[in-house]
Structure 1
Amino acid sequence: MFIEIIDVIISGLINGSVYALMAVGLTLIYGVSKAFNFAYGSFYSMGGYIAFLLFGISFFNNYLIVFCLAAPVLLIFGFFIEKLLVAPLRKRDDWEVKVMMITLGLALFLDNSYQVVFGARMKSLPSILEGSFEMGEFILSYQDVVIFIFSLGGILIFRWFLNNTRTGMSVRAVAQNPAGAQIVGIPKEFVFAATFAISTVMVGMGGILLAQKYFITPAGGWDILVKAWVITAFGGMGSIKGGLYAAFIVGMLEAFVGWYFGMTWTLIALFAVLLTTLAVRPQGLMGKWG
């Protein structure tokens, strides 16, 4: 029993670290633009499929190469999608609602495109590192350790970017006061596009990491979208620190509920905790009243 509980805790921490990497991107979009991206889960699937294509080419059968090639592709894709589909809507009334509708349409388009190109059958990626650490009955795979390290590394790089680069500080300024940021000369339109692009990279990287443990499917991103939304609302809309805490809480809760009751109960448990939290503290763990 004790070994099982340790395994569940480790599984929760590993999944929570990847959820944190992905949920922070969605939190960032909402914090800057106050709009919700319904295509976020489809970008998760895109990361997995890009890695699947690269691994099909023998020269690119190394995860470091895959990450280095996939990241700029996702960054450019996110940047141009924002410029082509989202930016024109900001000149209209109720543009936040229109953004939700157009990103929902984009999600359906991407998911159906995945099915046409890759087929409906599940795809998988090879393990990032074979082998495991064993101590008695306790077994920890090297793959899980690397996934945890990569996820935390991505979060730390993101934090460094926000605090130490001109673009990152511009993102923070626009999130705190859009009008004031524009007055002092910060290019708000570029910040919106950069935020969308960076969040696309973060969720795509999460898709590559989790594709080693779970299968890639055309509609598999919807489950991630729901979890990312729960984490964002649970932590506090627009609060990056709250999103990080909420991601690990959700990861642990998911692991324990799946272990004790079965995986079919995990989403029910997540929404139950979310609704309870919002009933007691509507602004989330670390959100603020608007």
Structure 2
Amino acid sequence: MSLRIVVTVKYVPDATGDRHFADDLTVDRDDVDGLLSELDEYAVEQALRISENSDDDVEVTVLTVGPEDAKDALRKALSMGADKAIHVEDDDLHGTDAIGTSLVLAKAIEKAGYDLVVSGMASTDGTMGVVPALLAERLGVPQVTLLSEVSVEDGTVKGRRDGDAASEQLEASLPAVVSVTDQSGEARYPSFKGIMAAKKKPVESWDLEDLEIEAEEVGLEGSYTVVDAAAERPARTAGTIVKDEGEGGKQLAEFLAGQKFI
């Protein structure tokens, strides 16, 4: 038997960089370096572990939607061990929200063919965490989300979801969509051999026409959510220094009370 796993990954702005909004209130990606979303690395890792532990012939495909530079996220996933990659790139995708992104991903997943879709629990830029559920709805398959442990056996995906008070054991018949948390297992670091091998792995490029999606369905025009206004975070101040000259405790208490901490 064969098992086709598609891992959805996102190219995100580096959270340590100085991020800004562009004039249209989308993220100015030209002004900051990007990278593979850290939470998506866990999804790649779990897909690779399923492949390594399976007796079936497993193919792991990584899929992203984004600009030209998003190929860097795919190369990172390929160097980790994924077999091939798909990059959906189109100028009309600029400004697409989560709902529009789920449409593009679903169409690409259907075109690629799949048995299991693996996603991170959220992206590190938008942090909405809704795309896996939207994908399952669009594909018409079960969703098993927020798993800290996942496995596939005899056409069934199984996993454990940890909550604040209890853990749940969940399962669903394939095809299915799962998302994994950052507690699912540390993502491997690409080896030099993996980095070199990634250069020879196939990367397909598709646009909206390939997926039979109209430009009006995506982008800023097709978004269900709109950013009306945004302001930069205030610069960090030096703070208040309390010098203890006998009444330091009193001054500290007054400061905390003024800030409504006590």
Q: Same fold (TM over 0.5)?
A: no
Name the one with the larger helix percent: 1
Name the one with the larger strand percent: 2
TM-score class, shorter-chain normalisation, is under 0.3
Query: Structure 1-normalised TM-score?
Result: 0.21
Which has more radius of gyration?
A: 2
